[in-house]
Amino acid sequence: MGAAAERAKAENEEWAGVTPDAARRLVGAAVQAFAERGYHATTTRDIAGRAGMSPAALYIHYKTKEELLYRISGIGHEKALRIMGAAAEAGGTATERLADAVRTFARWHAEHHTTARVIQYELQALSTEHYAEITGLRRRTDRLLRGIIQDGADGGEFLVDDVPGTTLAVLSLCVDVARWFTADGPRTPDEVGALYADLVLRMVGARVTDKNG
Amino acid sequence: MGAAAERAKAENEEWAGVTPDAARRLVGAAVQAFAERGYHATTTRDIAGRAGMSPAALYIHYKTKEELLYRISGIGHEKALRIMGAAAEAGGTATERLADAVRTFARWHAEHHTTARVIQYELQALSTEHYAEITGLRRRTDRLLRGIIQDGADGGEFLVDDVPGTTLAVLSLCVDVARWFTADGPRTPDEVGALYADLVLRMVGARVTDKNG
DNA sequence: CGCGTCGCTAAGCGCTTGCTCAGCAACGCG
DNA sequence: CGCGTTGCTGAGCAAGCGCTTAGCGACGCG
């Protein structure tokens, strides 16, 4: 299986929850198009074309183009929230949980940079109601990360002056991976995750136990 | 002078090099509109309206809507490059230069978050030639920052495993300020600059000389 | 005054956009 | 077989887009 085929398969699995098949193909096509050109520069004809359909077929599965973006945003942000939740609720020290959170969160933004770019940078195109709903998911993700950092600061593992500010910076750092990451760059998603986990542990003043300790 | 008037004045000074007056007003209007809605969602009628003109007047000063974005991107990226250059070429230790670079660079992205958002997140709307030109400016900014970090690593001031990766992360952190910063948030641009300078010094393993040392 | 120039506007052109609608082939069910 | 349902297409509508063009009032200059 070639690299392109593998990527297509991974992208298909990402939207496994979307049925029927045509609706899933449309979501995949929309993510690609939105990530490449942006929401407003993408036409419904383009999306339908990529999914192998006529423009009219799109409207059987989605009421509007904005609904497609909303569905993508919802699924993507829920996945991001689950990743952060898994790390926050795992056992271990605050240092271990923070490293795990940043490693998996940053890695996901690299591996799924197409989806991540759409859900992080095209939010403003959502309707007011949908925007508010998605913002709620992001606030929950933020709270989980802040909880880990607060734990570490309270327990003396971390040396942090400004917990909300540091949380914001860490989240910002991970999210922005979606902007610059490309599959043909020099770094794999795993490497990005490892690098970022290391950098963030330094940011919070955690004692690093590897070669830099 | 009210806050809004002060902001308008600051925005006017930002484009002082653009003449005549009508062309400058159009640039200001375009920056606001692009930052709010994005390039593709902004109409030439909207830009002209904000500048107090008819749609046709825009085309006396700029050949296309894209040229407006190109001018804004050029001026903005040159300013960003100058900020990074001033810090890189100043005297002092690598630690001092890095702190200065991050403080001023992050602060500019907060203070001019409207402009910064446009030049950092609407680049893909540029023509191929213009995009290449702007990318050149960004590479120069990147090289300046990498130089500082490399100096600190070589001289033993910093403990950095991956200089290009760390440079990328620092730049990404500062740039992303433009995405989340709002004037009505809890932090001033100065505070963002100070916080980010502290966080970045920790990332590179610099010895911190203040209360955290 | 006469006349060209400059900055601008009202009107609108050609095109693309998001979206709709009538109709059609395939299918399941009695 | 008959018939409704499902998933889709070809054609196209109203609206809005970037951009153009003809022309107008204010001004400087001789």
**Whether pLDDT at A14 is above 90:** no
Alpha-carbon distance values, B151 to B145, B146, B197 (Å): 10, 8, 17
From chain B, the residues in CB contact with A207 under 8 A are none
Please name the residue that has the structure tokens 């969602």.
B41
Regions of chain B where pLDDT drops below 50 = 1, 210-213
Give the torsion sign (CA, A118, A11, A113, A36): negative
User: Please, what is the angle between helix B21-37 and helix B3-14, to 10°?
Assistant: 110
pLDDT of residue A212: 42
A50 touches strand D (CB under 7 A): no
Cα separation, B92 vs B142, in Å, equals 20
CA angle, A39 then A40 then A42, to 5°: 70
A42 touches strand C (CB under 7 A): yes
Cα separation, A173 vs B196, in Å, equals 12
From the list A200, A166, A49, A192, the residue with the least C-alpha distance to A113 is A192
Cα separation, A55 vs A116, in Å, equals 25
pLDDT of residue B213: 36
Are the Cβ atoms of B202 and A203 closer than 8 angstroms? yes
When pLDDT is cut at 50, 70 and 90, the band that residue A8 belongs to is low
From chain B, the residues in CB contact with A152 under 8 A are none
B57 touches strand C (CB under 7 A): yes
Enumerate the domain spans of chain B: 3-61, 65-203
**Whether pLDDT at A30 is above 50:** yes
Give A127-176 pLDDT, tens digit per residue: 999 999 999 999 999 999 999 999 999 999 999 999 999 999 999 999 99
- B65-203: same fold as B3-61? no
The CA–C1' separation of B93 and C30, in angstroms, is: 88
Are the Cβ atoms of B176 and A177 closer than 8 angstroms? no
Fold of A65-203: Tetracycline Repressor; domain 2 (1.10.357)
From the list A83, A127, A126, the residue with the least C-alpha distance to A108 is A83
A127 touches strand C (CB under 7 A): no
Fold of B3-61: Arc Repressor Mutant, subunit A (1.10.10)
CA atoms lying within 13 Å on the CB side of residue B154: 8
pLDDT of residue B111: 97
Which residue is nearest nucleotide D11, judged by alpha carbon to C1' distance? A56
Buried b (16+ CB within 10 A) or exposed e, A165-188: bbbbbbbbbbbbbbbbbeeeeebe
pLDDT of residue B8: 58
Alpha-carbon distance values, B108 to A119, B105, B114, B121 (Å): 26, 5, 11, 16
Buried b (16+ CB within 10 A) or exposed e, A111-143: bbbbbbbbbbbbbebbeeebeeebeebbeebbe
pLDDT of residue B164: 98
Highest mean pLDDT pick, A12-26, A90-104, B18-32: A90-104
Q: Return left, alpha or beta for A164; rule: phi > 0 is left, psi -120 to 50 is alpha, else beta.
A: alpha
pLDDT of residue B113: 97
Alpha-carbon distance values, B21 to A188, B24, B61, B66 (Å): 49, 5, 10, 20
Query: What is the average per-residue pLDDT within A39-47?
Result: 97
Here the tokens at position A213 are 């300790």
pLDDT of residue B92: 94
From the list A118, A147, A111, the residue with the least C-alpha distance to A34 is A118
Are the Cβ atoms of A199 and B40 closer than 8 angstroms? no
Contact between residue A107 and residue A190 where contact means Cβ atoms under 8 Å apart: yes
Are the Cβ atoms of B180 and A198 closer than 8 angstroms? no
CA atoms lying within 13 Å on the CB side of residue B33: 22
Buried b (16+ CB within 10 A) or exposed e, A59-72: eebbeebebbbbbb
